[in-house]
Amino acid sequence: MNPSIPPSSAEYGGGTVLIRRDEVSAIVLDPGFSTTRAGFAGEDTPKSLIPTYYGQYSISSQQKHIFGDDIFVTPRPAFSVHNPISRDGVVEDWEMAEKVWEYSFTSRLTGTRSGNFVLNGLDDLHEDEPSREMEGVELEEKPLADSPLLMSECGWNPTKAREKTIEIAMESWGTPAFYLAKNGVLAAFAAGKASALVVDVGASNVSVTPVHDGMILKRGVQHSPLGGDYISSQIRALFKTNSPQPITITPHYLIASKAPVDAGQPPQVTYKAFPPDKTPDASYRTLLEERTLTEFKECVVQVWPGPNRLSATGPNGVANEELAKSSPGRPFEFPDGYNQVFGVDRYRVVESLFDTKAAILDPDSPFPAPVQAQAIPELIKSALNGVDVDIRPHLLANVVVTGASSLLYGFNDRLNQELIQNFPSPRVRISAPGNTAERRFGSWIGGSILASLGTFHQMWISKKEYEEHGVSIVEKRCK
Amino acid sequence: MLASINNTSRLPHDLKSVLFNMPPFKDEHILLIAPGSQTTLAQLGLPESFTPARLHFPTRMFPAEKKGEFEPYKVRERRREAHSTNGAGIDVDMRDASAPADKGETKVALQSTPKLKAADGVAVTNKEQNSKSPLPEEVVYEEDIVSMEGAIYPMQNGRIADWQCFFSLLTHIYNTLSPPFHTPIMLISEPVWSARDREVLTQFIFEKFKTPAFCLMDSALAACYAYGTPTATVVDIGHGKADVTAVTDFVVQDHGRGIAVEGCGGKAMTDRLVELLRPKGFTREMCEQIKRSNITEILPFGTPLPATISPPKSSNTALLSSTGSLNGRPPMPRGPGGNAQPGNGEGDEDDGVLNVAAIVSGNTSEFLAKREKERAERTVSKKSDPMNKPSRLPNAKKDRASFQFEEYTRIEPQNGAFTTAGQYIRQKREIEVGVERFLLTAPSKEKTADRCSGGILEDLASQIHHTILSVPDSTKRSELWDSLIILGNGSKVKGFTTALISTITQRFMLSPSATIFTSELPSNISTPLATGGTNTPSHPGQTPGPFHHPAAHGVNPLLVAATHANNPIPATSANHDPAISTHHRSTGHSQTPTSIKTLKPPEYFPEWKDQGGSNAPVATGAGVTNTTGPASSGGRNPPTALVSNRGMEEAVFLGAQIAAKVIFVLDQGLSKGFLSRVEYNEGGPATIHESSFS
């Protein structure tokens, strides 16, 4: 090709591309209690992952909100942290939920719209076209004006919440097409299954969802609060009674300087002093403590892999607890420099997910002592009891594990042991992706697959249909 | 996963389009642009040995006469008497004007030719003159290349705030470099650009510049290419913001990425200096130059300030004790007696414009520049003699130090002056500063209203911690802590990197007892730290083999297998999904960081050798600066010390060149690193997300 000859028009499609905006891929939004995931359909991970928590503070008597990861990084004066979603997984504060969700896709995907910049700067290409006149029309473009939106919801989302969701998507965001899918179904799709028993271990909830032929079996859906946050509360309870000394978690932002200490020795640390009117709120501290606890869960905590409970006796007659004690401990250092090796305790903090009698009791904990019906094996039992006898074996052969808290070391081994004990059948089979991201974003990935399927196009609720039928259409169409 | 499936399924098609429709690209035809909020780097062609960017454009434009259009320089309107021209040719450089303005201007300028005379040095254009005034007075538009009055910065903290303006900047750069038609373009993208932003840019580039191939490369990834590492934590300190990115195996980790962390750039440091020094009579420009000077330093965490050793007695001595007779705000020294030199040979040399007058007088200005350089050297050596004696102490121990302040001052031409050009003189004087020069990163009062952290370094440290902790594959974290890349012009302040590392170490480094413990517990080899922090694989490129235990961290896998045999992991039953046993066992790894290191810059690019503190102050008004020598047209290099002052802080540009070489020249699109015009025509702007670099 001669570099001094311009490309011919045949070789270069030129302005025709402008019109082709219908190929825009849908946006998949998977709001959870702890994090909100958003991304384009067809991609393998959500581009945008933000905490569902948002920060709030006031500066010169003006209230400011902080969204995104910044809440973990920058302490702000009299900063408080809130979550628009209730522990049950249902939205409480719609106004803020809308803002958090909107942030999740505007920040990385669609950008905040200010006017129609798409045509800007290309004016000289279209000298003959009245492109200037179009600018006025689209000035008030809504954030999702040209992207279909697929959202997920938990299996027990009430009708009111579902109707509110479609209202926000259609009215505030202006999406041309919308669909609301159950996250259990999506997680099954992500595992490549149309029928499955989905065990989703999230931050605020553990849920067990029977899915048959891509439909959720409502009577079988079970959930309990024994999720990641509950495990955190168990770890805190452990720290209170820890020996050689009780442990308090002091997040990094409160520490001015520290000196290394030996294991088990009291920390040598100077704390930061904030003026009383500027001290960040306790909720902020809790959030950052949670960060340290996450690290603790990653590095130290381990699920007793079975067989049998931690408190029981193993197959060779040795108490499981003794076995656990003999395995090497794991060290952990806290932000203030305190460090210690954790032995058998690191099994105890998660044991109550399977055996609620093993729960470490703490009167100050926001979680009441769990009852056995809330343990994961019991949830699975009641979920199966809620569905038709004929499909039970099929579900048991397709147990899909998802959710970030299921990444706890040894979780799948133990779950497998429990299933074998409770349902002695050779065809019990757990499927859990090995990839961390696939496990954490199971329902988002399912949404990404679903929304990019050609056959899914007929499922969308279009803007026109919404305008015709109103919010109630979501109950009819998204089952 | 999905995307990769997509990619492979598309591959045959791409191959076809690439192999049959696409003649190979040549090194000299590749256009690289790396936009930043302050400076945009650009270069046409890859040299044999990669150099720092040839051109530095200030990322700003000035509103043109017509609304919605932009000019690269301030256009000043002046009225003056019209009288017949006497000689000096007119010079309107069309390459320099932004394209939309181009056509109009040509016409007008031609019309006005007989009536105008140009001063040497500054391009003069004249539009619509005489339309209103029948008087013997005409409106003259002149480009004022130093003034920043009314400048629009289209990028704010990395975000594109003004698309029109940004597009005309790109056009201006494109026109200045005037590449041939068969030029693939590589644009370095800011992390903060949203997916939609990238689509808009893609569309603009293809439809405006008709490029045959376009690559949008993430700046953090480019940094990894420059350092030749697949895994790194890239900390890019810019002007108004910083970006902190974890890259593992050449994959940018979107989650937990510190994107445009505000108030962590060079601007915040200048702000802090202004806050400290304004009460003492310093201007912002002075503070900016103090920041860039050698005497400014950021001391490592916990280093006492020299002032605390001997606090200054009176506060007003510090300040503007300048050399010679210049005190406070001195009257402008005109004569050659001062350090200043009338500047009509200087300002215009920064100008990207070629003009007849300058070429004609080229020798003269070179001569002037040379003379001034000699004089400056003489004065410096004269001065440094008496000053060196009392201050043998290292800079960090001195409670005050002085630097050469340099500024451009505009001379308003006198009545009837021969020239229409804005003339500037450059002045130098010595200014003394106290310990404020060590406090650049201390928390500023303004900021504490909004945040209660302990300054820039602390903010960055927490962001880095957050970013690394957010990497899902926890086995990578240790390596990320050991491969920090700190770059960006904000990091050029002396001592910045050291101070940042010491802050991170102080806050996050684990104490040895938490990692090495030879306590009562027998087999703790799975806590792989017995060797004192060298637990990362020594070859960052190595990928773990299929039997590599994730817990192993480079420890002998047999050893790990042996120790894990002791662990009470029960024999897994037959009906196990095989996925379970191979998944990432995050608990198989221990806490990080046990060591914190920066990566060594590559040594095989001689042009990129660290310029080590040659942080010569330079007035900030200068226009396009030409960095590297031989290819650039002679006589245009500004005489200031700026020329060789670019090092690894702009490594992103080095990475861009390496990547461009790889994807455009070496592998011919096999790695799907760029988007070809054919693909663009088929798939539209959104196709850019499928190319592997964005």
pTM confidence score: 0.78
Cβ count near A312 (within 10 Å): 13
Contact: A257, B6; criterion CB under 8 Å: no
CA distance B274 to B268: 10
CA distance A446 to A181: 10
- B553 in Cβ contact with B531 (< 8 Å): no
Confidence of residue B535 (pLDDT cuts 50, 70, 90): very low
Indicate if the pLDDT at residue B379 is higher than 90.
Answer: no
- CA-based nearest distance B41→chain A, Å: 21
Query: Which of A55, A145, A131 minimizes the C-alpha distance to A100?
Result: A55
Whole-number CA gyration radius for chain A: 26
Query: Which of A1, A372, A445 minimizes the C-alpha distance to A198?
Result: A445
Q: What six digits make up the tokens of A169? A: 């998507």
Count CA atoms within 13 Å of residue B203 on its CB side: 26
Residue A53: C-alpha distances to residues A44, A84, A283, B478 (Å): 24, 7, 10, 28
Which residues of chain A does B2 touch, with a Cβ-Cβ cutoff of 8 Å? 42-44, 445, 448-449, 452
Q: Which one of B4, B197, B570 has the shortest CB-CB distance to A306?
A: B570
Q: Which residue has the higher pLDDT, B642 or A229?
A: A229
Q: How many CB pairs under 8 A join A and B?
A: 283
Q: Which one of B194, B513, B686 has the shortest CB-CB distance to A110?
A: B194
Which residues of chain B does A49 touch, with a Cβ-Cβ cutoff of 8 Å? 254-256
Indicate if the pLDDT at residue B247 is higher than 80.
Answer: yes
- CA-based nearest distance B239→chain A, Å: 19
- CA-based nearest distance B499→chain A, Å: 15
- Strands A430-431 and A399-402 turn out to be parallel
Within 8 A by CB and 6+ apart from B26, the residues are: B182, B665
Residue type, B499: A
DSSP string of A58-119? EETTEEEEE-TTHHHH---TT-EEE-SB-TTSSBS-HHHHHHHHHHHHIIIII----S-TTS
If you average pLDDT over residues B154-166, what whole number do you get? 91
Confidence of residue A387 (pLDDT cuts 50, 70, 90): very high
- B490 in Cβ contact with B262 (< 8 Å): no
- What CATH superfamily classification does B17-59+163-227+647-693 receive? ATPase, nucleotide binding domain (3.30.420.40)
Residue A96: C-alpha distances to residues A66, A82, A444, A465, B389 (Å): 11, 9, 21, 27, 65
pLDDT of B440 reads 82
ipTM of this model? Answer: 0.91
If you average pLDDT over residues B396-413, what whole number do you get? 75
Question: Which 8-state DSSP code applies to residue B261?
Answer: E
Within 8 A by CB and 6+ apart from A372, the residues are: A356, A357, A378
Question: Which 8-state DSSP code applies to residue B665?
Answer: I
Q: Which one of A4, A43, A60 has the shortest CB-CB distance to B3?
A: A43
pLDDT (tens digit per residue) in B42-86: 999 998 888 888 899 999 888 887 777 888 887 777 666 555 444
Supply φ then ψ for residue A469, to 5 degrees: -100, -15
Indicate if the pLDDT at residue B15 is higher than 50.
Answer: no
Contact: B164, A120; criterion CB under 8 Å: yes
CA distance B419 to A287: 66
pLDDT of A80 reads 93
Q: What six digits make up the tokens of B253? A: 């980790």
pLDDT of B241 reads 92
Confidence of residue B114 (pLDDT cuts 50, 70, 90): very low
Indicate if the pLDDT at residue A213 is higher than 80.
Answer: yes
Number of residues that this document lists for chain A: 479
pLDDT of A148 reads 93
CA distance B38 to B8: 40
Which residues of chain B does A435 touch, with a Cβ-Cβ cutoff of 8 Å? 1, 583-584
If you average pLDDT over residues A386-408, what whole number do you get? 94
pLDDT of B289 reads 87
How far is C-alpha A246 from the geometric centre of its chain's CA atoms?
31
CATH-assigned architecture of domain A227-368: Alpha-Beta Complex (3.90)
pLDDT of B428 reads 81
CA distance A257 to A251: 12
DSSP string of B131-170? SS--SSEEEEEEEESS--TT-B-SEETTEE--HHHHHHHH
Convert B52-89 into a string of H (helix), E (strand) and C (coil). Answer: CCCEEEECCEEECCCCCCEECCEEEEEEEECCCCCCCC
Average pLDDT of chain A to the nearest whole number: 87
Q: What six digits make up the tokens of B336? A: 């050659």
CA distance B513 to B515: 5
How far is C-alpha A242 from the geometric centre of its chain's CA atoms?
31
- B357 in Cβ contact with B344 (< 8 Å): no
Indicate if the pLDDT at residue B552 is higher than 60.
Answer: no
For the ranges A121-135, A152-166, A245-259, B181-195, the lowest mean pLDDT is seen at: A121-135
pLDDT of B447 reads 66
Indicate if the pLDDT at residue B322 is higher than 50.
Answer: no
Contact: A299, B685; criterion CB under 8 Å: no
For the ranges A129-133, B443-447, B599-603, the lowest mean pLDDT is seen at: A129-133
- B647 in Cβ contact with B608 (< 8 Å): yes
Domain ranges for chain B, please list them: 17-59+163-227+647-693, 61-79+137-151
pLDDT of A412 reads 94
Within 8 A by CB and 6+ apart from A146, the residues are: A21, A24, A176
pLDDT of B517 reads 44
**B162: contact with A, CB 8 A cutoff:** no
If you average pLDDT over residues B442-463, what whole number do you get? 81
How far is C-alpha B534 from the geometric centre of its chain's CA atoms?
33
| Interior/surface letters B316-353, b for 16+ CB within 10 angstroms, e for the rest | eebbbebbeebeeeeeebeeeebbbbebbbbbbbbbbb
- Exposed / middle / buried, residue B634 (Cβ in 10 Å: 0-12, 13-18, 19+): exposed
Q: Which residue has the higher pLDDT, B309 or B403?
A: B403
Query: Which of A198, A224, A222 minimizes the C-alpha distance to A443?
Result: A198
pLDDT of B343 reads 36
Cβ count near A366 (within 10 Å): 10
Average pLDDT of chain B to the nearest whole number: 67
Convert B320-384 into a string of H (helix), E (strand) and C (coil). Answer: CECCCCCECCCCCCCCCCCCCEECCCCHHHHCCCCCHHHHHCHHHHHHHHHHHHHHHHHHHHHHH
pLDDT of B25 reads 84
DSSP string of B588-643? GS--S-S---BPPPPSS-GGGS--TT------TT--SEE--STTSPTT-S-SSGGG
Q: Which residue has the higher pLDDT, A238 or B538?
A: A238
- B323 in Cβ contact with B429 (< 8 Å): yes
CA distance A112 to B156: 14
End-to-end CA distance of chain A: 57
Contact: B208, A125; criterion CB under 8 Å: yes
Cα dihedral A447/A451/A453/A458 (nearest 10): 130
**B180: contact with A, CB 8 A cutoff:** yes
Indicate if the pLDDT at residue A26 is higher than 80.
Answer: yes
Indicate if the pLDDT at residue A306 is higher than 80.
Answer: no
Indicate if the pLDDT at residue B92 is higher than 60.
Answer: no
pLDDT (tens digit per residue) in A34-75: 999 999 999 999 999 999 999 999 887 888 999 999 999 888
Q: What six digits make up the tokens of A332? A: 């952990």
If you average pLDDT over residues B136-155, what whole number do you get? 75
Q: Is the dihedral of CA A315, A319, A320, A323 positive or negative?
A: negative
If you average pLDDT over residues B291-303, what whole number do you get? 83
- B177 in Cβ contact with A92 (< 8 Å): no
If you average pLDDT over residues A248-252, what whole number do you get? 93
If you average pLDDT over residues B375-404, what whole number do you get? 60
pLDDT of A111 reads 78
Contact: B512, A436; criterion CB under 8 Å: no
Indicate if the pLDDT at residue A5 is higher than 80.
Answer: no
Which range of A130-139, A175-184, B26-35 scores highest in mean pLDDT? It is A175-184
pLDDT (tens digit per residue) in A452-479: 998 898 999 999 999 999 999 999 998 8
**Helix or strand (DSSP H, E) at B430:** strand B423-433
For the ranges A257-266, A315-324, A350-359, the lowest mean pLDDT is seen at: A315-324
Contact: B514, A117; criterion CB under 8 Å: no
- CA-based nearest distance B524→chain A, Å: 6
Confidence of residue B639 (pLDDT cuts 50, 70, 90): very low
Taking 3-state DSSP, the helix, strand and coil percentages for chain B, each rounded to the nearest 5, stand at 35, 15, 45
Q: Which residue has the higher pLDDT, A149 or B441?
A: A149
If you average pLDDT over residues B303-318, what whole number do you get? 51
Query: Which of B177, B182, B246 minimizes the C-alpha distance to B218?
Result: B246
How much of chain B exceeds pLDDT 70, in percent?
Answer: 55
